[in-house]
Each structure stands twice: as C-alpha cells, then as structure tokens.
Structure 1
Amino acid sequence: MVRLGRYVLAPLAGLLLAGASTAQEMTDVGTPRNETLIVQTFDGKSANPDVQNPLNQYAIWRGFRELGWSFLWEMDTATGQSYPELAAGPVEVLNPEHTKFRIKIRPGVFWSDGVEFTVDDLIYTLDTSFKYKDKLTFVARTTNYVKPDSWSKVDNYTMDIETVSPAYDFQTVLGVYTWGSLFVPVPKHIFEGQGDNVVTYKNTNAVTLGPYKIKEFDPNGFWQLWELRDDWQRSGWGNLGTPKPKYVLYKDFGAEETRTLAFVQNQYDVDTFMSPDSIAAAKARNPAIETFSPTLPYHDMNDACSYGIYFNQQKSPYDLPEVRWALALTVNLQQVAISAVSGQFKASALPLADTPITDPVFYQPMLEFLNGLTLSDGYKPFDAGFGDGMVAALKAQGIPEADLPTGDAVKQGFGQGWWKFDPAQAEKLLGSVGIKKGADGFYTKPDGSPWTLDFVIPADWNKVMQRTGFSIADSWKKAGFNVTARQADNGEFTTVQNTNAKLDLMVNWSTSCTYNSNWFNSWNSFSDAFVKPADSNEPLQGNYVRVTDPEIFKLVQDSKSLEIGSEPFVANGIEIAKKLTSGMQLINLMNIPTTIPTNSTYWKNYPKQENFYAAPYTWWSSFKKTIVNIEPTGK
C-alpha cells in the first residue's frame, strides 16, 4: 500500500465501494473498520506532524491530549467538577495560605514502553520547564505559577510543591480545566538524555502515558493513527473504563464539500464543525447521521468558550470605546446567525458563554446590569428581546413551529439577549470622535484618510467560524466600514492572535473560556506583565484581549488570595465582566455552536442532549469519556 498525504493507493482488486459492507472491511490505513473510530481533525492538516514534544507548542489536536497523554487531574465536563486521574486523590493543602501542597500519585501506572511513572517524571518536567523557560513555548503558565525550586520528592509516589501566590485553583492549573492541561508530564527516562537539546527535541513517535500509543502518522500531516496498548489497564486513565476502539484515526478529509460526501459514505464517524446546511444534506442521505439534539438549536452549546471579535485595542482607532461600540452595534447578529449557522446558535452578550453551569453564576446576577447599561450619550444598547426576534425570523424562514422554542425556552435556547442592531447610533458614536463617511460611503479616519479594516478569520479548518466571520464582514460593509475578511490557516491565525503588530481585528475564542465559577483560568493573564507595545512583533503569552485597565489588573491580582467559587471571588469576576462589557473591550457573539454530527454506522452511544455524560468534543481531553462509553454496532 502506498501512502500519499491524505490519500492511499491500493491495488484495484482491493478497493471497496464507499458504504459497501464486507466481512472484513479495512480502513485506508490498514486497520479493521469495525475496530477503528475515525474522527475529522480539528485543525485540518498539521504542518509539523513529527513534532510531538509537549513542552513546546505543536499539533495537539490529533489525539495527544485526548488519547496519548494523561494528567494529574481531569475535568468532568458534564458537571464542571475536577477529579483525580494520575493523582491518587485531591491535592493536599499543607498551609493556611494555600501556597504549599502535597501531590500523591497512583502507583502502578506505566509509560507505553513499560517504564513505571513516578514523581521523578513530575520533578524532571518541572526542573526542565524552569531551566529552559525562556526557550520552551508551552511552560509559561506553570513557571509563573509554581515557586521556583520549591518541589521535593517524599517517595516514588509523593511530592511536595509550593506556588508563588495563594493557589485555590491548583487542581485545574496543574490538571485540566477545560480542553486539556497546561502541565503535561514527560518521561524522564526519554528526555533526560537530550540535555540542552530538549528545547528543540521533536519527540517523534512519543512514548505515551494514556491507554493509546502512536501506531503511525502521515509525514504530510493529514492523519494520525493510534492503537490501544496491550497493557492499557496500567495506563494513566486505564482505571476510567474499557476503551472500546482498538484504533482511533484522526484524519483530515479535506474541504467541507469533500468530507461531507465521505461522511455520508460512512468513511468516518465524528465530524468537527460541519456547517448546518451540510449537516442537513448529509442527514437527508444517511439516516445514521445525527446531531446533538433532534430539536433547535440541534447542536451542543455548552462549550466553555464563545466566539468573539477581538481588537488590538492598543492601536488607533480601536483604542476608542466609541469605535468598539460602533462595531458592535453594526453587527446584525440575527442575520449573521441565520446566514452562518442557519439560526442554530445561542447569543452571549457577556464575555463568557451562557451555559447551564455559568448562567446562574454570571448571567442571572448581571441581567440588571445589562438592562441598565447606558452609553455616554444616554443610549441603552441591550436588547433583552433578541431571542423573541430570532424565533420570529426563523418562523418567517419556514422553520416549523414544533422545532422552535416557546416561553422560557426561548432564552434557554437563544440566550438572555444581545446588542441592538443600530447603524444610526453607531454613526453618531463615530462622529463624536471625528470618524465620518467619505464620498464613497465608507468611514474615514479623523484626518479624512481612508480607513481599511483588516479582519482575520479562519480558513476552511473551521468552516463555521469562517462563515460567521464572512457574515460579520458583510454586515459591517453594509454599515459603511471598508472591511477585508482575510482568511488565515491555523498557524497564521495563531500568530495573528499572539502578535500585536499583526492584529487589527479577528474573530476568535481564546480568552472567553469560562466553564464554571472559576473565571480565573480564563482571565488570569489580565496583567501588565502580558502587555506589549501596540506594534510589537514579540509573541504574547496571554491577555489576547489586550486589556490595559489597571482596575481589571487589580481585581485579578486580588482574586489570587480568594477561594475559587467563593462569593468574593465570583463578585470580582462579575466586576471584570462589567468592565469588559461596558468598554466593549471585545465583542462577545455567541456560545460556540459545536456543530458535531455523528455517524452511528459502526459506533453508537455518543454523548447527546439526552445522554450527556461528557462534552461531545473530539479535541478535548475529556474525549476519553467518549472512548470508554461508545459501543460497536456489530457492523
């Protein structure tokens, strides 16, 4: 068999027609189809598939954190509660100040090459992270959190460690908060022989701690194949349950048009952010294809993150709140939602997602603030009736009434409200800072020179957010902004996010990820330590919203000594949210509509609305819950 990137060439006699059934149908990577769970990669093609060192940034979205790595503590994404994985139990707090801790790990956990995992691996990971912190690219949070040289070995399964400041969020910083962990243990017996070369060490064909090991990967970056370890019970999460697939294949099936056809033909089992119209077309052709819920909004809306528009608010004219508010009031979110996701979304006006977990903690206590929010000229921008408007618009589009929410379910489905669509008010705000329309109908800078907005959006690797970005740009252009929606691949997109000199505007999700009352994991980097000059080419390590407000910085700093989830801690989070919102420091749009259709031809019992045992995301570490809960169909 010859492998060429995304494709495999096989002898003609061995080819199978798509969707055909045989006694032993094989995948194009040589594994039995009925033993292989196949998922579309989150990030499309990887540029450097041989780079697998978790101390550096690399393509983590293709099974490493989901199958290969294991963490001290994991997150139950159905409840928002942390639980021990490698750890033997909760972290032990050793002093009243919450700066000294004891970690105990489970004995009998082994790396995939048969070497036992001990605290020596944790200590080596910490030693290396601190020694090379200025050269490694994935250790900044840990090295700013843990006190240098504070860790010590008690025995093979016990260690003590200190933090720089009081740390009530220890388990979710050294463990998992949402998508994965900022602290990934590496095998000392593999890495220590690299010496100073550890900073450039690729770690190709990595030794793993989870139940799966790398069997093969495409050197061109289109796919990665994982195989269940023979000794999976001795792995980092082998105690969670029996992993059902013998193999898991992460594969990029190409542009959405191509992969939709492959999905219909049962070539893979779980997609990632397929657009709603493609899902509808696929369901019409294959009854095994299902959405998260059979009724609107059809998809899971419980991601920790939300889509938002990010500014370089250190750069003129985005440093002016009037400009930022004008851009918010010219986003016709109702039309954006219908055009981009067929109305299958949930609006979130605050800078965090509105979910069943965050709603009672943040949204309900802030409704009075939203309804009473007033701009400097007395204008009230909040539209509490946004959801009712969505229902009316979708009904006019021909959506059956049986599929539309009514009563209290309207706000549960479409959110508590959003900002008014008011181009006239936006023009008034812009005029107050000297920005007016030129003869061509587009807004100009205060000196009369042309103003072109560079709006960065994802390319095909995130089709849903790409379409959302195009629709926002269309809304702005109609309102008089000369905007260019520039598509970027995953690598460039991240570079723009992290580099002041490259960012004017972008649609993103990076700093609006709050899963429960612990807002700190999302906003902890709001600090002057993460502020760089407006035109800097030096990569940011956080604070991608470009917050410069010292009052927000103080609220974050003061919260470090507060217990996570306590009333004062939540109150500080609410104050930060108020400041971000009143200054429109980012335009939060909607909960991420995780449009993830599944195909039950070969596997069943995926997480669904009525069977919500875990978030249904194949790119979060909690995908392990899916791995142990799905069942083969017998086909």
Structure 2
Amino acid sequence: MEVEKIMLKKGLFVLTVALILSSFLFAQTEYMSGIPRNEIIIIENPDGRATDPDNFNIWAPGSPSWSRGLQQISMDALWYIDPDAGIEGDPWLNSLAAEPPIYNDDYTMMTIKLREGIYWSDGVEFTADDVVFTVETLKAHPTMAWGANFEIYVDQAYKTDDYTVVLKLKQPNSRMHATFTVRWSGCYIMPKHIFEKVENPEAYKFNPPVSLGPYVLESYDPNGYWNLWKKRDDWERSTLGKLYGEPGPNYVLYIGLSQERRFLDQMKHELDIVHDLAPEAAISLIQNNPYSVTWFEEFPWAHPDPTLISLLLNHEKYPYNIPEVRWALTLSLNMPEIALASYNGAATISPIAVPPTGNHLKWYFDPLEEWLKEFYIEVDGQKFFPYDDTIPFQVTDLAQKQFGYEVPDDPEKIKESLGYGWWKYSPETAEKLLISQGFTKDNRGRWRLPNGDLWRINIICEAEGRPIATRGAEKVAEQWRRFGIDAQIQGVGTAILWPNYLNPGNFEVAYAWNIETWGGHPDLSFFLRTWHSDFYRESGEVSAGSNYIRYKSDELDKIIEDLIKSDFFDYEESISIGLDFLKLMVRDMPEIPLMSYNVFTICDGYYWTGYPTSEDPYTNPVPNWANSKYMFPKLQPTGRK
C-alpha cells in the first residue's frame, strides 16, 4: 500500500511537471513565434498578473502594472539616480534633461534644460511642450500620479524656448527636481501630441503606448501575464541609445511567474532574469545552474536595495514612547539568529537608520564606525557600550556551520556584503533598563507593565509574498518571548499592510520599512522631508509621508530644516547633516534598524552577458526598478542559439 502511495505521488509529480512544461511551451509559442531565442531576453515581472492589461496609462489614478517593461524601457524621465555606481561612474544621470536643475537663489524658480534630438516612437520630437503639458495636466488632476506634488508646489510651468522649461514655485523648494528624478520610479513625461486630444486623461488607456524609451510594445497577453517589447528601428533617437549605444536584445519579454516556474525556467535557460526568490530556492538555483550571475559572486549573493527593514515602534502607543524601553527591546535581540531565520544568513545588517548599500558605506558607515564604538548608554549609573562589530563575522560562521555555505574570509568583503556591525545581545542590560522604568517580572518570568498588566506585543508583518519578512518577524517574537514578553506576529496581506496598518498608525510594532534612500546620493530628504513635525499626523489619520512611527523632536525638525535649505548637489553638506540625523536615531532609537531589503535577483548567462555585479556595479540589476534600463546597452549575446 505504501509503495502504491509513493508511486501515485511520483506519478502526480511527473504529471504536474509535464503540465507545467507543456503550458510553458504553449505560452512560449504564443509570445515567441518566429523570434530566435538569442534575440530575446526574458525577464520576470514581480507584479505577476496585470489587473488591467489593456491599460498603459502610467499616470492614471491606481495606474496599471508599471514593472511589465512600461517604466523600464518605454517611459523616460528628466533625471535618474542609480542606487549603485551609475553607467557613467556617477549615480546622477541626466536623461531627458541635458544637465542638472538650475535654481534661483531662494529656490522659488527651477529651470530645466532639455536634451535635443530625442523623439517619440511615432516620430514626433520631444520638446519643452511635453514637459509643460505634463506638469500642467497632472497639476489639474491631482489624483493622477505626481499630480498632488505639482498642485502643492507649482504655481506655473512655462517654456522660454523649445528646450528650456521654467517652473515657478508657490514656495521655496530646493528638492522640486526630486519629483522628476527616478529612484525606483519618478515623474515620467507625457506625449502632449497624444494626450491633448484626450477628453479625460484619467480614464484614457494609452494603448498602444507611444515610447520615449528604446523599445515599443509588440504584443501583450490579454490575460495580463506577459508583455513583449521590440527594439525601435530608430533606437538611437532615445536617450538610452543616443548616450550609451544600441541595446543588445532585439526583443524584451516581461512575464509574471510563480516561484516554481522561475526556478524551473531559469534552470532550462528560458528565463534570463529572476527578480527574486525565497533564499533557499535562490541559493539552490545558484548552486545548480553554472550560468547563474548574482550581485555578489559568493555568499550572500543578493543585491542590497536602498531600503531598510526595521522594527517600527509606534510612539503614540505606550510604552514605545520611552527611549529606555526601545533600547531594552533592541538589546534583547540576537541579530545573527534573525539573519539566519530571514535570509539563511545572507542578510546585510545595519545598526543605523540608513540601508547598508552602495555609496552609503563610504558616506555614512565608515565615518560613523569609531563614533559607534565609543557610543554608550547609561545603565544603573554605569556606561554600557552596545555596539558590536563582530556580528557580521558571527553570521558568516553560523551560515557556514548551519548551511554549509562557502563564505568570504576577507574582512572587507564581509563588511561590504554583510554589514559593519549591530547591537550586542545583552538581555541582562535590557532587564536593568526595564526595571529602571518600573517594569517587573512575575514568578513565571513574564514582564509586566508598571501598572501590573502583562506586557503583550503584537508584531504586524507581511504574511504572503515576502517570506523573509514573516520569518524575521517570527524570530523576533520568539526572542522577545524568550526574554519574557508575550510577543506574537500578525501576518497581513502585502496589499493592505501600508494602507490599513502603517499609514494610519494602526499598529504597535511592525516588521516593515519606512526608510528608503536614493542609494546613489547622500541626501536623505527622499524619505526624511515628511518626518518634520509640520507633516505630523496622529494615529487614526493617514500619514503624510513615511513617518509611520509618529516620531517627532525639536532636534529632528532642526536637522530636516537644515537639510531642505541646503544645496542638493553639495555632497559634503548633505553628508554632514545626514550624520547628525543618524546619531540622533542611535541615541533615541525611535525604531530598531535591522537590515537592507536584499533581493535575490539572479541572471542567467547562457544567452546574454554583461549583467551588472558588485564588481561592475554600473546599475541596479533588480529588474522592476526603472533604472535597470541601463543594463540593455551593456547586454550582448553570448553566441548560443
């Protein structure tokens, strides 16, 4: 009987694989009919299935899937900031704009000089008229993407010639250009000659889309699973082609796939770029496919995004408004265990409130290293030095012992890929801090609040889509339970985590992120501007920005005011102000920084070569980022057919 069951299971597995392969072959025939495999690059779209596959209006309210090639290779913006080195060796990239923005002395006027000789895919020249039209149209429709920014800040947009645009601002704003600057995305420019004929730009589907990028839409799945793009005949009239040369692939396919399909298809060399996989699946793929190309050649492999996963503590919920409590929670955590639970050890950890990626290492981590070693907190009248720079090395040792991974032994490589350090695991110090605030332990070792109530912590986290978040949150809850706190996790869907919980402050503790940086620029205003108390919203109201933790202080306000008054392109001043912010965040510990959001983007080198890596970090390889477009001129066929 057991043999029959085993045979039945094997038969079902074979049948399942056969069905997967046959469905793939059918789909492959549908979108690749007549296209040689060595002329097409196939890329995972992490959005999966587009909910409105006929709609390509990226500016529309609730706009459709952006990551199906729409924002990467069809749209274009004035400027880009790459989170890595940048294709020119500088993360700041002038795209549709010929040079950086020009402000007047009081930042009430911004002048944009445009690049000449750029054309829409239908042959119409790109000019200042398109930029003015974009600003005025979105300003008149504030529910459209970027519309609210223009409504708040822009008084008037006008041109002085065909390649010069001036924005007259309602109030001083030294960061107005940020709206037009792509990090993951940014305000893309609309084709005036198309949208001026449209009665309702919010409802218009922009199908087929007219491109400023080097590719045009060839076909798409009416069910929303894939989009096929073809290289423009006049690719040299796009900014990418004009500046960096011809893109290698003649065709680009963005396709939504299950985790299983991603693994199988790349093993068969039928998926060139995997956006992300669960750590164990990613590592298995890397170890079994000799053509795998990853950001780091060895452990931890993944690309660290300029996004910081943290334990967010709502300051309007007692006792998270007390600094000593926040530090106690920090010192009761064992980071190596969290790194192993969430990423199988392949985590890039951070003790400070910026992600440990790209140029942040030289701008912030190197300058703060000695300060962190000398930093102390007062505990029972004694100095306690909480920083521990051995933790990344503990993680590599554990990953090697527990999973058998080959790990780097060069200390500098370990710091670059796994972080510089974190906070000591010191539950005895955490206990002293809590006792100093009137907390007590009962005879069962459980912490009670000063009023005698049992201390319970509910950690909100993602329950689907990001297993690293669920696993990390569960390990945190387990450690706090070990420390004596009744902690548990509450998994919620990705689609509702931000609108239902973080934005309205409907949480006590969350395993998520609220700090995202440019990555390729030291200015922290990308997220920090709306942390000023002028933008403060109480719990129950929707946060005006990413200050979900409802943190405010006079010192923080002063730092933000200094930052906003500074010149965006004065790196030295930006870094100096940024260091002041990071020191404040260490002293106050308003949230507990954990690690960067590491993405297991895996490229397959069977058909294509030239992918970015940490050794050649010319752009971000994570394929749903708009700046991943800078890969395409570098990608070249290997010669395999």
For Structure 1 versus Structure 2, the TM-score category normalised by the shorter chain is: 0.7 to 0.9
* Per-residue CA distance 1:243-301 (angstroms, 9 max, x = gap): 222332222211x3443233323331111232332123223433222333332333333
1:70 is the counterpart of 2:71? no
Task: Evaluate the alpha carbon distance shift between residue 569 and residue 286 of structure 1 in structure 2; reply closer, same or farther with a 3 A threshold.
Answer: closer
CA shift, 1:199, in A, is 4.1
* Per-residue CA distance 1:77-136 (angstroms, 9 max, x = gap): 32453122111233344x334443322222332333443322222112211232233x33
Report what 2:497 is aligned to: 493
Which whole-Å CA distance do the structure 2 matches of 1:112 and 1:502 have between them?
46
Computed over aligned residues only, the root mean square deviation of the Cα atoms, in angstroms, reads 3.3
Which whole-Å CA distance do the structure 2 matches of 1:406 and 1:246 have between them?
41
Residue type matched to 2:296 in 1? S
Residue type matched to 1:623 in 2? S
Q: Check conservation: 2:334, 2:425, Cα contact below 8 A.
A: yes
Which whole-Å CA distance do the structure 2 matches of 1:441 and 1:205 have between them?
65
Q: Check conservation: 2:108, 2:169, Cα contact below 8 A.
A: yes
CA shift, 1:604, in A, is 2.0
Report what 2:128 is aligned to: 119
1:280-359 alignment, distance < 5 Å: 280-301=283-304, 303-355=305-357, 357-359=359-361
Moved more, 96-105 or 44-53: 44-53
Task: Evaluate the alpha carbon distance shift between residue 199 and residue 310 of structure 1 in structure 2; reply closer, same or farther with a 3 A threshold.
Answer: farther
TM-score normalised by structure 2 residue count: 0.85
Residue type matched to 2:99 in 1? G
1:475 aligned residue (467, 471, 479): 479
Residue type matched to 1:86 in 2? L
1:186-225 alignment, distance < 5 Å: 186-195=190-199, 197-203=200-206, 205-225=208-228
Which whole-Å CA distance do the structure 1 matches of 2:208 and 2:308 have between them?
34
CA shift, 1:171, in A, is 4.9
TM-score normalised by structure 1 residue count: 0.86
Which whole-Å CA distance do the structure 2 matches of 1:361 and 1:83 have between them?
19
Report what 2:189 is aligned to: 185
1:230 is the counterpart of 2:239? no
SS in 2 for 1:629: coil
Task: Evaluate the alpha carbon distance shift between residue 202 and residue 502 of structure 1 in structure 2; reply closer, same or farther with a 3 A threshold.
Answer: farther
Residue type matched to 2:557 in 1? F
1:90 is the counterpart of 2:100? yes
Task: Evaluate the alpha carbon distance shift between residue 456 and residue 28 of structure 1 in structure 2; reply closer, same or farther with a 3 A threshold.
Answer: farther
Q: Check conservation: 1:99, 1:165, Cα contact below 8 A.
A: yes
Which whole-Å CA distance do the structure 1 matches of 2:288 and 2:420 have between them?
36
Which whole-Å CA distance do the structure 2 matches of 1:451 and 1:615 have between them?
43
CA shift, 1:18, in A, is 9.9
Task: Evaluate the alpha carbon distance shift between residue 203 and residue 461 of structure 1 in structure 2; reply closer, same or farther with a 3 A threshold.
Answer: farther
Task: Evaluate the alpha carbon distance shift between residue 45 and residue 423 of structure 1 in structure 2; reply closer, same or farther with a 3 A threshold.
Answer: farther
* Per-residue CA distance 1:199-237 (angstroms, 9 max, x = gap): 455545433321223344445544333333333333343
1:527 aligned residue (504, 527, 532): 532
Which whole-Å CA distance do the structure 2 matches of 1:426 and 1:386 have between them?
18
Q: Check conservation: 2:97, 2:115, Cα contact below 8 A.
A: yes
Residue type matched to 1:522 in 2? F
CA shift, 1:319, in A, is 2.5
Residue type matched to 1:336 in 2? I
1:582 is the counterpart of 2:587? yes
CA shift, 1:180, in A, is 2.5
Report what 1:270 is aligned to: 273
* Per-residue CA distance 1:509-551 (angstroms, 9 max, x = gap): 4424242322222312222243211122x35344344332232
Which whole-Å CA distance do the structure 2 matches of 1:170 and 1:137 have between them?
15
Runs of 4+ in 1 over 6 A off after TM superposition: 13-20
Report what 2:5 is aligned to: none
Task: Evaluate the alpha carbon distance shift between residue 434 and residue 205 of structure 1 in structure 2; reply closer, same or farther with a 3 A threshold.
Answer: farther
Task: Evaluate the alpha carbon distance shift between residue 375 and residue 16 of structure 1 in structure 2; reply closer, same or farther with a 3 A threshold.
Answer: closer
What is the identity percentage for the equivalent residue pairs of Structure 1 and Structure 2? 27
Question: Which stretches in structure 2 are left out of the alignment for 5+ residues?
Answer: 1-17
Which whole-Å CA distance do the structure 2 matches of 1:510 and 1:219 have between them?
35
Which whole-Å CA distance do the structure 1 matches of 2:123 and 2:434 have between them?
65
Which whole-Å CA distance do the structure 2 matches of 1:222 and 1:319 have between them?
46
* Per-residue CA distance 1:161-214 (angstroms, 9 max, x = gap): 2445655555544223x3232x2222223333445x434555454333212233
Q: Check conservation: 1:53, 1:203, Cα contact below 8 A.
A: yes
Task: Evaluate the alpha carbon distance shift between residue 441 and residue 192 of structure 1 in structure 2; reply closer, same or farther with a 3 A threshold.
Answer: farther
Task: Evaluate the alpha carbon distance shift between residue 611 and residue 451 of structure 1 in structure 2; reply closer, same or farther with a 3 A threshold.
Answer: same
Q: Check conservation: 1:253, 1:262, Cα contact below 8 A.
A: no
Residue type matched to 1:404 in 2? P
1:430 is the counterpart of 2:439? no
CA shift, 1:15, in A, is 10
Which whole-Å CA distance do the structure 2 matches of 1:320 and 1:49 have between them?
49
Q: Check conservation: 2:154, 2:169, Cα contact below 8 A.
A: yes
SS in 2 for 1:611: coil
Which whole-Å CA distance do the structure 2 matches of 1:96 and 1:287 have between them?
56
SS in 2 for 1:502: coil
Which whole-Å CA distance do the structure 1 matches of 2:613 and 2:535 have between them?
39
SS in 2 for 1:125: helix
SS in 2 for 1:37: strand
SS in 1 for 2:384: coil
Q: Check conservation: 1:310, 1:586, Cα contact below 8 A.
A: yes
Question: Which stretches in structure 1 are left out of the alignment for 5+ residues?
Answer: 1-12
CA shift, 1:66, in A, is 1.1
Task: Evaluate the alpha carbon distance shift between residue 284 and residue 375 of structure 1 in structure 2; reply closer, same or farther with a 3 A threshold.
Answer: closer
Task: Evaluate the alpha carbon distance shift between residue 324 and residue 40 of structure 1 in structure 2; reply closer, same or farther with a 3 A threshold.
Answer: farther
Which whole-Å CA distance do the structure 2 matches of 1:548 and 1:204 have between them?
45
Which whole-Å CA distance do the structure 2 matches of 1:174 and 1:489 have between them?
31
Moved more, 523-532 or 388-397: 388-397
Bigger helix share: 2
SS in 1 for 2:284: helix
2:561 aligned residue (557, 560, 579): 557
Residue type matched to 2:609 in 1? K
Which whole-Å CA distance do the structure 1 matches of 2:592 and 2:119 have between them?
46
